[in-house]
Amino acid sequence: MSERRAYLYKGVGETVGVVTLDGRPERLIATWDGDDPLDVEGVRGVARIRKIEKAFASAFVQLPGGQDVLLPLRPDMPKLVEGGLVEIEIRTPSRRDKAAVARFIGEGEGEPRVLEPAFTVEQQLRLLVKSGSPTGGEAALQAVEAAEAEALETVFALPGGGDISIEPTRALVAVDVDLGAREGLDAKRAARQANMAALGVAARILRLKGLGGIVVFDLVGRGHDGQALSTAARNAFSVDNPGVAIGAISRFGTLEMTLPRRSRSILDRLLEVDGQPRPAAMARRVARALEREGRADPGGRLLARCAPIVADAFAELDSGVADRLGRRFVIEPVAGWSVERLEVCVR
């Protein structure tokens, strides 16, 4: 039977939760100081209609102090007018180039306002893992860093041999299954086992990365048992319901499905559009490393070296780290260093 555990890390400028499945990271939930509290799944409120786009059957609405939210229009909804009020719930937070999407609840009354905030990271963890309080402290920090490292990987090993690669594009998420070396099995049986294993591993990794939308599996081998693979897919992605839809295996050996997007992908926090690490994410790694070294050597003077752009991003965390450690650390920008390079040591 599968076992899930929850970890909660409250760092400088961030609160991060991790859910593990049988010891491997399955979900990574993060909030940073400065996040828009209205751009989160589950926020409910009364919003004002800013613009109606009839050609796209959508309206742009705004919660007080928030950015534009896309509200899809349905035939069964009352007629809306620009400047009017609606009660909405954020269904999907914004992504890099897409606005947040809301669900229509009813016509609004009074003034634009937030009726119900989103769940905190800790509340989300308790909903996902119902057995006791999340683990904190050093174990939580280790879980966060292990989860981040795996979320940034592209290729993942399959039990019994082979691997899968998971690569998001603007249109879809591509999952390529590679047979690798599965000893002692005929080719058809090896392909079947690799495809079955790929569904389970991919389900965990897609939840970890926070990816959804159209997902296409390029299965290995030919002559697939469509019923068995569809059943395995439904089982592997059952925890992502409601909203999972699984198609038939095509004549090209691909399995397509759609997964609901309920949160911002963790990759948007950690990576720039070009795939390079975000300086703000690296600055938080610097803060974590300083805190770890500071606990290991309570009286030591600490030195952190990093790229100048990371040092600039660290400025907003500086006072928070000083509150925890005292003013016993120095940040040294090093010209020519890449964004992902950092060193923290005792001086």
Give the number of domains in the chain.
4
Pair (242, 302) in one structural domain: no
Residue 76, domain member (yes or no): yes
User: How sure is the predictor about 131, in pLDDT bands with cuts at 50, 70 and 90?
Assistant: confident
Which of the residue ranges 188-192, 196-200, 328-332 would you say has the lowest mean pLDDT?
188-192
Q: Which amino acid is at 131?
A: S
Residue 146, domain member (yes or no): no
Pair (194, 307) in one structural domain: no
Q: In which order are the strands placed within the sheet that holds 14-21?
A: 4-11, 14-21, 24-32
Q: Please write the tens of the pLDDT for every residue from 247-303.
A: 999 999 999 999 998 888 999 999 999 999 999 999 999 999 999 999 999 989 999
Cα dist. 118→37, 40, 106 in Å?
8, 6, 19
What's the whole-number mean pLDDT along residues 59-79? 92
Cβ proximity of 41 and 91 under 8 Å? yes
End position of a domain, from candidates 75, 105, 136:
136
Pair (32, 61) in one structural domain: no
3-state secondary structure of 204: helix
Cβ proximity of 328 and 300 under 8 Å? yes
Q: What span, in angstroms and rounded, lies between the C-alpha atoms of 66 and 295?
A: 39
Q: Which domain holds residue 10?
A: 4-36+120-136
Instruction: Note the pLDDT of residue 157.
Output: 96
User: How sure is the predictor about 96, in pLDDT bands with cuts at 50, 70 and 90?
Assistant: confident
Pair (172, 229) in one structural domain: yes
Res. 184: pLDDT tops 70: no
Residue 273, domain member (yes or no): no
Residue 141, domain member (yes or no): no
End position of a domain, from candidates 212, 240, 266:
266
pTM of the model: 0.91
Residue 83, domain member (yes or no): yes
Instruction: Note the pLDDT of residue 65.
Output: 85
Pair (186, 125) in one structural domain: no
